[in-house]
Structure 1
Amino acid sequence: MAWEAFMSDTGTERSHTLTGRLGVGSIVFMVVAAAAPLTVIAGTVPLGLAAGNGPAFPITFALCCAVLLLFAVGFCAMSRHVPQAGAFYAYVQQGLGRAPGLGAAFLALVTYAAVQLAVFGYLGAVVDGLVQHWGGPALPWWLWALVAIAVVGVLGYRHIELSGRVLGLLLIAEVAIVLVFDAVVVARGQHLSTAFLAPPQWVSGSLGIAIMFAIASFIGFEATAVFRDEARDPQRTIPRATYAALLLIGVFYTVSSWSVVSAWGDAAAVEAAGADPGNMIITTVTNVLGPVGGDIAQVLLMTSLFAAALSFHNVLARYYFALGKTGALHRACGTSHPKHRSPHVASATQTVVAAAFIVVFALAGMDPVAQVFAWMAGTATLGVLALMTLTSAAVLAYFRRSRADTRVWHTLVAPVLGMLGLLTCLVLTVSNFPTLIGGSPALATAIGAVLVLAFVVGIVWSLRRPSVLSESTPTPTAPAA
């Protein structure tokens, strides 16, 4: 009753809009920070080398980037015709209808919640390790995770530009040390890998597992669209930020993973990754840049994870906000702060949800890396691939129906190629899912069932609440030349 009273007294007085002057650079910072570049180099690259296609793993990033660029062509073309800041679900709604749209919305909530929980679990373990390395006390990982959730919650509650500045500083620091590492490896000129030049090596080992790990590393690039309301010029800023983020992430991952292989040599890199994947990158940086470089890399790994957690928090808060505005969630989630013009209720809701799950994981005695991180990251990988495949279908359906854009490449050829590539990645991920989460087939089935259930619940909810997501479809603009 108190909650309802709060809404009846204040809900009509609050603005339901977010404001900001985010340019391409600020949005790219937040999206690239969500990708956690240093975390990918430290966590994904060793796994891809050891379990994937060996020294050719760097080329897998380039292949996945190409598929996602094809997806982005249709995604960006449709962004002109989707004024809502709901990203995937808004596109699915416009292209495939209200029920699939709300199903996609619920699936997106579960997907991004999972990836944020994965980051918090890993972050708790990394901070605990650093504190003990510096002579501090051994404290539970979940305590550090809850502290991080609180700090992220405070930043998420305030105006988006504050988060953008914080993410910018952290991102510059983590990228800088990796670029220095890359430059030193190239300057030495020893063991420079040529595996990426030999197509037979691309498909050696397990290409499916390699693609699975690589595609997971790009999670977050598509979140550019959720910042639409806070962008300086949405119709220009969102497409430019999407392409810029994808290209930066793809080039960074490809070059830096190649540098890691080159620092060891092809065979030695695979051997080192298999022997100690958890510490391979810190060992590699220490070997190349010295002990001080290794210590700095450890600290920046922690800040990389924090930046990713903050970025995904902002994405989730804006999903809650968009769904609150349409009535899919409580209307309070769709209100913005009178001073900060931030989705403060949505942000606070996401903070409470994340803290509650961390407490549940702690009570269950789950390992922060082997279970929380692995299981949640696997869930997010499967979920985001399903969402992108649905969005590709929505793009095709929307332009065939509306004829709002008649450019064949943008509305047909690229979206079809992108969807075929994503379907291939989805099939490979499903078939290798038990490997990705490090669990049993039963666990993989249970996680997949949760994602399917989230989508079905959204569809059922849309049928029970006909007014949900009933905003009128925007009038298409004139066809593009």
Structure 2
Amino acid sequence: MIIAASAPLTVVAGGVTTSFAVTGSLGVPLGFLLIAVILTLFAVGYTAMGRFITNAGAFYAYVAQGLGRPLGVGGSLVALVSYNAMQVGIYGLFGFQISVFLEAKLGFASPWWVWVFLCIIVVAVLGVNRVDLSAKVLGVLVALEFIAVILFDIVSFTASPEGVSAAALNPNALFGPALGLILVFGVAAFMGFESGAIYGEEAKDPKRTVPRATYLAVAIIGLFYAFSAWAFSVGIGPSQIVQASQEAGPDLMFVFMTEQTSVIIADIMTILFITSLFAALQAFHNAVARYLYSLGREGVMPHAFSHTSKSGAPWAGSVAQTIIAIIIVAGFALTGDAFGAADAMFGELSFLYPVLTMFTWLTNTGAAGLVLLMALTAFAVIGFFRKRPGGLSAWTTVVAPFVAGVLLAGMFVMILGNFPLMLGQEEPDATTFVLPGMIIAAFVIGLAWAYVLRVKKPHLYSQIGHGTEPGAYGTELIGVVGVEETGAP
């Protein structure tokens, strides 16, 4: 689930080329390693706190218990906005890729949104079933992604027009003027790595498997992305990779594979690129459903969201996320096609409308929100263990979380400062402020709602962030309503 959300093939094809193109630097491979180090520092306290808290709300519960209930509720709404933005935004690229691929291979022109709505149905069906069903489907897709990228890496080192150069591994390429941009564009590739704790209530041994999964995920993702980014620079040539990325974008990988191998192999990789997007869609859908479940169980959101199916999946949250996706996709489809916004905004490039708006706007917004959440969670670790001293080292409970929190907060500020660049804007416009403003607004609304609950529903307020503990709002009703409706999945 964690690696599926990070979508390895999508990152290597799209994220790596975008980073080279925008930063104009060869430091992208080392940038992935640096981000992996920062997130490993974050994971030290995050996983330690996870031994004491098992909650499908993860960030929400951690912040509530470490920094206070109001900040926890504020963080929960940021999580909902961020995960929904990531999930729905990816639909834009998914629909575009299928539409373009079918037209190129079969001459069949189709609206991008048709494939999105069909995909929403499949994601919804998997979302209301047991998490292990989703995991089996995504496990196969992720394995195929890794095979595809490894094949690309091998071909890149075989081609190496300028030799197997280590130019992209020179620290001077990273620690220069482009360092901030490299981190800003690279961190989005790791979004989803923190989601292991979300599945803690469904894991057989969460105290052991969640920390293991988190550390393994960040290590695998960091090393694999760094190695593949280096391979990319070797395959195209260090002197050409920036210009080639600027000219071809994500298609660079598939053009390269066509030239070096065959059209069939390139087409198979394109199909796997599409399935990579599907895997990420399913993973983020599951994350939203579990957040809604946790918030519904504790009364922060309507209690109906705490309902689970016979298989234990949070079906109410899954259905809610599906409805959200349908509404937003329909809005972009109507605005772009029926009302002509695509032609008005992009002219000859109107076919890129779902990528340049829906995908770019929403995924960057989601990444910004999740970086803010991780910063809050890092500081929450310090607050949590300050009230529960003993047993763990200062490195685990103070030093590593503090350093990670400061670095992540700095990264969030850099994201806000570079938001126009992330959206591909020459000059700021309304979206430059509205999109990150959604994150800030969600946080403020959450804070206000927490104070309302404290005054009007003190019993519910007292349970915020404690949904799995004895006597919590959801657990105390199990005997009356039944495990299928309010119990832990």
Whether 1:70 aligns to 2:62 is no
Q: What does 1:200-239 align with in structure 2 at a 5 Å threshold?
A: 200-204=172-176, 206-239=178-211
SS of residue in 1 equivalent to 2:451: helix
1:278 shift after superposition: 3.4
Of 428, 436, 445, 1:448 maps to: 436
Whether 1:256 aligns to 2:228 is yes
Structure 2 residue aligned with 1:151: 122
The aligned amino acid for 2:213 is A
1:175 shift after superposition: 1.0
Of 58, 62, 69, 1:87 maps to: 58
Q: What does 1:41-52 align with in structure 2 at a 5 Å threshold?
A: 41-52=12-23
Once the two structures are superposed, what CA deviation does each residue of 1:345-370 show, in whole Å capped at 9, x if it has no partner? 11111111111110011122161101
Structure 1 residue aligned with 2:483: none
Structure 2 residue aligned with 1:24: none
The aligned amino acid for 2:438 is V
Q: What does 1:407-446 align with in structure 2 at a 5 Å threshold?
A: 407-439=393-425, 440-446=428-434
1:329 shift after superposition: 1.4
Residues in 1 aligned to 2:73 and 2:107: alpha-carbon distance in whole angstroms: 47
| Contact 1:377–1:437 (Cα < 8 Å) also in 2 | no
Residues in 2 aligned to 1:309 and 1:83: alpha-carbon distance in whole angstroms: 24
SS of residue in 2 equivalent to 1:151: helix
Structure 2 residue aligned with 1:18: none
Residues in 2 aligned to 1:173 and 1:468: alpha-carbon distance in whole angstroms: 45
Structure 1 residue aligned with 2:463: 471
The aligned amino acid for 1:75 is Y
Residues in 1 aligned to 2:460 and 2:415: alpha-carbon distance in whole angstroms: 32
Once the two structures are superposed, what CA deviation does each residue of 1:64-87 show, in whole Å capped at 9, x if it has no partner? 110000000000010011122211
Aligned length: 445
SS of residue in 2 equivalent to 1:266: coil
Whether 1:324 aligns to 2:296 is yes
Between 171-180 and 358-367, report the one with greater CA deviation: 358-367
Between 340-349 and 285-294, report the one with greater CA deviation: 285-294
Q: Matched residues, percent identical?
A: 37
Residues in 2 aligned to 1:201 and 1:119: alpha-carbon distance in whole angstroms: 30
TM-score w.r.t. length of structure 2: 0.88
Structure 2 residue aligned with 1:402: 388
1:296 shift after superposition: 0.9
Structure 1 residue aligned with 2:370: 384
TM-score w.r.t. length of structure 1: 0.89
Between 287-296 and 254-263, report the one with greater CA deviation: 287-296
Going from structure 1 to structure 2, the CA distance change for 1:189 and 1:125 (only over 3 Å counts) comes to closer
| Contact 1:335–1:345 (Cα < 8 Å) also in 2 | yes
Residues in 1 aligned to 2:413 and 2:444: alpha-carbon distance in whole angstroms: 20
Once the two structures are superposed, what CA deviation does each residue of 1:399-443 show, in whole Å capped at 9, x if it has no partner? 112215431111111111211221221222111111112242542
Residues in 1 aligned to 2:152 and 2:76: alpha-carbon distance in whole angstroms: 40
Q: What does 1:77-156 align with in structure 2 at a 5 Å threshold?
A: 77-156=48-127
The aligned amino acid for 1:145 is V
1:49 shift after superposition: 0.8
Residues in 1 aligned to 2:188 and 2:302: alpha-carbon distance in whole angstroms: 31
Query: Can you give the 5+ residue segments of structure 1 that lack an aligned partner in the other structure?
Result: 1-29, 476-481
Structure 1 residue aligned with 2:361: 375
Q: What does 1:277-316 align with in structure 2 at a 5 Å threshold?
A: 277-316=249-288
Between 231-240 and 125-134, report the one with greater CA deviation: 125-134
1:271 shift after superposition: 1.5
| Contact 1:378–1:436 (Cα < 8 Å) also in 2 | yes
Going from structure 1 to structure 2, the CA distance change for 1:388 and 1:460 (only over 3 Å counts) comes to same
Residues in 2 aligned to 1:300 and 1:77: alpha-carbon distance in whole angstroms: 36
SS of residue in 2 equivalent to 1:465: helix
Between 183-192 and 362-371, report the one with greater CA deviation: 183-192
Residues in 1 aligned to 2:18 and 2:48: alpha-carbon distance in whole angstroms: 35
1:189 shift after superposition: 5.6
Structure 1 residue aligned with 2:486: none
Going from structure 1 to structure 2, the CA distance change for 1:278 and 1:205 (only over 3 Å counts) comes to farther
Residues in 1 aligned to 2:19 and 2:400: alpha-carbon distance in whole angstroms: 28
Q: CA RMSD in A?
A: 1.6
Structure 2 residue aligned with 1:23: none
1:182 shift after superposition: 1.3
Structure 1 residue aligned with 2:477: none
The aligned amino acid for 1:343 is P
SS of residue in 2 equivalent to 1:134: helix
Going from structure 1 to structure 2, the CA distance change for 1:332 and 1:287 (only over 3 Å counts) comes to same
